[in-house]
Structure 1
Amino acid sequence: MNYHRISHIDDPLFKKMHELMQEVFPPEEVLEYSLWKEPLEDPGIRVFVAEVNGEVVGATEYRYYEDFNVAMTDFTIIGRPGQGIGRFLAQQRQKDLNALAIANGKVLYGMFAEIYDPYQVDHYEFGGVKPMDPYVRREVLSHLGYKRLDFRYVHPSWNNDGEAVSGLDLCFMPSDEEQAELEAGLIVAFLKRYYTVLPNKPEAWNEMVRQLEQQDKVALLPL
């Protein structure tokens, strides 16, 4: 299994990755094909696929913010069961992020992720791929060390239509597993940076950010 970085929309493996995304994610969570050109060429956005004999069997996208010393896992896709794809992607991603933090003269503070909450919304199908079942993924990510940030989370739709998407939690995996809270200012700064690409912010998102701006810390709870 190869860990291959995709940095151009013309990479033949990108088409296969995008098709896999469309198979497993709800439509509002998948950025339109042509809109990937700029993100893929952005050196700060790291898109990798797990490749076996020319086929994409998994993928992950993430980014490292040097000024925040945190990462964000955009998505992880496991396309086939029973092949160790999830562990392979998680290990390779962690090695890459640790190296980026070291090059920045730091130890990685932690990593954000938006994680589906099937206890809020129970109709996610994820293409029938069992490893992508939201109940399974939630438990796996809990085992990895992710914790739920204690506030009601929404995010702007990737359709950029001003709609608010719910049914997810914003989570954080601290490098110090004993850490019990996170600075609200870091969360606000991260969310504003992360969603700069979507100018049509729903009012529910704006209100969520305003409430966070009034807080000092946000608790990290079991996932």
Structure 2
Amino acid sequence: MDYHRITNIADPYFKQMHELMQTVFPPEEVLEYELWAEPLQDPGIRVFVAVHEGQVVGATEYRYYEDMQVAMTDFTIIGREGLGIGPFLVKQRTSDLLSLVGATGGSLLGMFAEIYNPYLAQDHSFGGVKPMDPFVRREVLAHIGYRKLDLGYVHPSWHNDGAAVQELDLGFMPFGDDADSLEAIHASLIAAFLERYYAVLPNKPQAWYDMVAQLKQLEQVRLLPL
């Protein structure tokens, strides 16, 4: 299996990846095809696909914010069972991310991820691919170190229509020697990250602004089990 980076929508694997995204994710979670052109050329956005026998069978996107010392997993897709795609993507992504952190001379506090709440996302079939089932994904993410941030989470729809999406939790996976014992992270870090991450969407719901404002009034946010 090959780990291939996509940096242009003209890449023949991009069309396969976008179709895979449309198969497994609800419409409000998928950016329109043409709107990928600029983000893919951003050196800070890392989009990779797992290619097996010429076919895209998995994908992941992530980024590292050097000034905040945090990363974000935008999405992870497992398109087929029985190929070990999940472990392959995690291993390759972690290796690439740590190489990126090392190259910039920075450090990594941890990695954010939006994680489907299976009790709120039961209507999504995720393309019928069992590893993408929200119950399965949540357990897998818990096993690799993600925890839930103790806040009522909402994010803007990627349709950029101002709708509020409320069926996910915001998770965080700490890195470093104290990762297992860390009980909370600074609320200001979460607020700064969310403002940076969603700056690309001008039409954000009021519920999102209220959540960020609330975070700015707090000192820390607890890390809870998934």
Q: TM-score, normalised by structure 1?
A: 0.98
Q: How many matched pairs?
A: 223
Is the 2:61–2:74 Cα contact (8 Å) retained in structure 1? Answer: yes
CA distance in 1, matches of 2:3, 2:116: 25
Letter aligned with residue 95 of structure 2 = K
CA distance in 2, matches of 1:103, 1:40: 20
> 1:29-60, CA deviations, whole angstroms, 9 ceiling, x for partnerless residues?
00000000001011110000000121000000
Number of the residue aligned with 1:183: 186
Question: What is the CA-CA distance between 1:95 and the residue it aligns to?
Answer: 0.5
1:109 pairs with 2:113? no
RMSD: 0.7
Is the 2:6–2:40 Cα contact (8 Å) retained in structure 1? Answer: yes
Runs of 4+ displaced beyond 4 Å: none
Is the 1:118–1:124 Cα contact (8 Å) retained in structure 2? Answer: no
Question: What is the CA-CA distance between 1:69 and the residue it aligns to?
Answer: 1.0
Question: Superposition pairs for residues 55-66 of structure 1, below 5 Å?
Answer: 55-66=55-66
Partner secondary structure for residue 16 of structure 2: helix
Structure 1 residues not aligned, in runs of 5+: none
CA distance in 2, matches of 1:137, 1:56: 20
Partner secondary structure for residue 158 of structure 2: coil
Structure 1 residue aligned with 2:201, among 191, 198, 201? 198
CA distance in 1, matches of 2:160, 2:21: 18
- Aligned-residue identity in percent: 68
Question: Superposition pairs for residues 86-165 of structure 1, below 5 Å?
Answer: 86-165=86-165
Number of the residue aligned with 1:214: 217
Q: TM-score, normalised by structure 2?
A: 0.97
Number of the residue aligned with 1:69: 69
More displaced 10-residue stretch of structure 1: 200-209 or 113-122:
113-122
